A = this chain, B = another copy of it.
Amino acid sequence: MFELLHSDTSYPAESRILEAGCGVGVQTVILAKNSPNALITSVDISEASVIEAKKRVTVAGLTNVRFEQADIFNLPHGQDSFDHLFVCFVLEHVSRPVEVLHTLRNYLRQGGTITVIEGDHGSIYFHPDSEAARRAIQCQVELQRRAGGNAMVGRELYPLLIRAGYRSVRVSPRMVYVDSSKPELIERFTKKTFTAMIEGIRESAIKAGMIEPQVIEKGIRDLYRTTESDGVFCYTFFKAVGNK
């Protein structure tokens, strides 16, 4: 799955990369490995996340990343400080994605690129189909919306980047298609990434009164059901690249 999203992103030696919103550094490790001679600055507003990201990168033996705890709306960097921007799984959490993209553009040199990767929970479908599973997923979408985010932001990358002033924007969908001929994807994606995430919001969704306990239980069971021998699960990520 990392391959699917990251394999075509590699920056030249000495180029200055800003990873805006690095979180706990899961993407940072891949980014740094794929661009071993680029100079990566990874920023997150959460100090706890930065500490964990730093640890993760150190454990991976990578030395081309420096970390900063900072607000992306107010970075300690001047205009045109970076050759390229990398923004992965960040826009889904923000309420004003165009403003974020537009602000980040200030730090980018003329001609530099921005790369944005997001998922889209409205891209999910599966076999056997299940109303309960769809409702369970809808809880995740709704919880994220209430937190100010947008779990279906993937499909919007093109208009968002255009509105933020980038040009030559090209978007490519990256679909994860899982059937029983792909046991590794069943384990790593359908079970341990996606369905685990829905299990993780079970209590919050019930507490928020969004769904009855037995419905979300059934929804989660039905998501696991898609990993059986006749099951299929589909999810699409979107990757956009634009220029300043």
Contact = CB atoms under 8 A, between A and B. Distances in A.
Interface residues of A, number: 30
Given A155-B232, A232-B158, A234-B236, A177 B172 contact: yes
B230 A163 contact: yes
A169 B177 CA distance: 14
Interface in A163-194: 163, 169-173, 175, 177, 179-181
A231 interface: yes
Interface stretch (A32-40, A42-50, A70-78, A117-125): A117-125
Number of copies: 2
Given A123-B234, A234-B236, A158 B175 contact: no
A158 to B, nearest CB: 4
A127 interface: yes
A206 interface: no
A90 interface: no
Contacts of A12: none
A213 interface: no
Contacts of A231: 159
Given A125-B122, A127-B156, A171 B177 contact: yes
Contacts of A127: 155-156, 159
A156 B162 CA distance: 36
A177 B123 CA distance: 12
Contact of A126 (B125, B155, B234, B236): B155
Interface in A38-90: none
A194 B127 CA distance: 23
Given A179-B171, A230-B163, A234-B236, A129 B125 contact: no
Nearest to A170: B181
A5 interface: no
A152 interface: yes
A125 B121 CA distance: 10
Contacts of A230: 159, 162-163
Given A159-B179, A173-B234, 6 more contacts: A122-B129, A126-B155, A155-B232, A158-B181, A159-B231, A170-B181
